[in-house]
């Protein structure tokens, strides 16, 4: 996979677009095909202690997207193709005080999320193409129902903004650099997932390369263990992943271990989550703990109401001895008849380095998701 080039990635984009749009008329008549997608726009207002910026943006927690699933029986299993692309709208994590209003539409090849082929059955599932690595989503065990406005990737709303030194306003590290969940991602990869065994367990492994970033030849390996089960009126979800990056062209090697666990009481809607991660990146041992508490109930005829609060503690994220803490409040209202959700959220980020004090960064977000 090391020899994949810009031309290879451009070819992958072209093949996906031809498969989607060139065959759209036929697929519309094909019972094996399913189109899906959503718009997920929000208004954010971020205050870094010196300035405030308010913009209409795409929600980087889950960017607006369009996709296609197509499947057909093959041998003892099913062959599937999944094409998915973000719309390339201005993302909430791309804003900063020095980039307050980037172009609203800026589609790039990195907007392409999946050009993915798979074959699965009782033997498990094999994947090849651009798509999720096995450890993608290891921090994502979450039954709060507020995941479209808040996840353990807490920097998705205000990640581009910098912490500013108290008094002088000098720029420090970005919110995104301080608060990272070390989760797996989407790459050009080969992947295998096992069938479920032992009352809810499954394992996966993958190897991949970032084919959409020119000059990045790093080889990524990961392993994943998942557990999911309902028992005694409770729903449980547990995930654990290990990630290894073999750095090339002068890039450093790094290693990470991440995991998460969530539990939902089915009759009351009370839920809780804990996630944690450790990463060794060029000798800097970074770690964090993330927790979320929530409740989801049918209080209105519109649909389910979901409320949550979350907290993130991180250490040694940018340099040894630093500390980051963020807390947030989230509310989501489902509108069933409109295939929509409305959200309101607030998050405050704090950061300190030895001998340096920074202003807090606060961020509001209001918006919603409409899907089909």
Lowest average pLDDT, out of 10-24, 300-314, 351-365, goes to 10-24
Across the range 188-193, mean pLDDT stands at 98
pLDDT 10s digits, 331-355: 999 999 999 999 999 999 999 999 9
Phi and psi for 25 in degrees, rounded to 5?
Answer: -65, -45
User: Can you name the residues that pair with 362 across neighbouring β-strands?
Assistant: 47, 348
Q: What is the pTM of this model?
A: 0.90
pLDDT at 25 over 60: no
pLDDT at 162 over 60: yes
Report the SS3 class of residue 11.
helix
Cα–Cα distance, 16 to 44 (Å, whole number): 33
Q: Where are the beta strands (DSSP E) in the chain?
A: 33-47, 52-58, 65-74, 77-86, 112-121, 124-132, 162-164, 171-174, 186-193, 201-209, 219-231, 234-246, 254-265, 270-281, 284-300, 303-315, 323-335, 340-353, 356-357, 361-371
């Amino acid at each position: 996979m090391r020899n994949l080039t810009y031309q290879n990635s451009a070819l992958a984009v072209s093949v996906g677009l031809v498969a989607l749009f060139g065959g759209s008329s036929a697929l519309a008549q094909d019972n094996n095909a399913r189109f899906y997608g959503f718009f997920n726009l929000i208004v954010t207002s971020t205050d870094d202690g010196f300035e405030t910026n308010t913009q209409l943006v795409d929600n980087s927690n889950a960017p607006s997207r369009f996709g296609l699933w197509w499947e057909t029986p093959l041998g003892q299993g099913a062959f599937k193709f999944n094409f998915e692309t973000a719309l390339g709208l201005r993302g909430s994590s791309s804003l900063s005080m020095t980039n307050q209003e980037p172009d609203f539409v800026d589609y790039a090849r990195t907007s392409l999320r999946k050009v993915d082929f798979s074959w699965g059955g009782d033997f498990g599932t094999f994947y090849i193409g651009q798509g999720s690595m096995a450890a993608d989503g290891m921090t994502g065990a979450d039954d709060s129902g507020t995941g479209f406005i808040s996840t353990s990737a807490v920097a998705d709303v205000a990640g581009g903004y910098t912490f500013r030194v108290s008094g002088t306003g000098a720029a420090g590290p970005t919110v995104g650099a301080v608060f990272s969940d070390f989760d797996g991602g989407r790459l050009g990869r080969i992947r295998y997932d096992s069938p479920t065994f032992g009352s809810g367990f499954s394992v996966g492994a993958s190897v991949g390369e970032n084919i959409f970033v020119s000059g990045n030849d790093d080889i990524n390996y990961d392993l994943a263990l998942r557990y999911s089960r309902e028992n005694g009126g409770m729903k449980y979800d547990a995930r654990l992943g290990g990630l290894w990056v073999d750095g090339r062209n002068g890039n450093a090697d790094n290693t990470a271990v991440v995991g998460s666990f969530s539990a939902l009481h089915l009759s009351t809607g009370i839920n809780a989550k804990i996630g944690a991660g450790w990463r060794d990146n060029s000798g800097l041992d970074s770690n964090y703990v993330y927790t979320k508490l929530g409740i989801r109930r049918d209080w209105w005829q519109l649909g389910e109401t979901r409320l949550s609060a979350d907290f993130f503690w991180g250490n040694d994220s940018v340099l040894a001895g630093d500390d980051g803490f963020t807390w947030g409040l989230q509310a989501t209202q489902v509108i069933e008849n409109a295939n929509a959700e409305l959200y309101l959220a607030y998050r405050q980020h704090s950061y300190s380095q030895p001998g340096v004090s920074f202003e807090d960064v606060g961020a509001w977000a209001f918006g919603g998701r409409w899907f089909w």
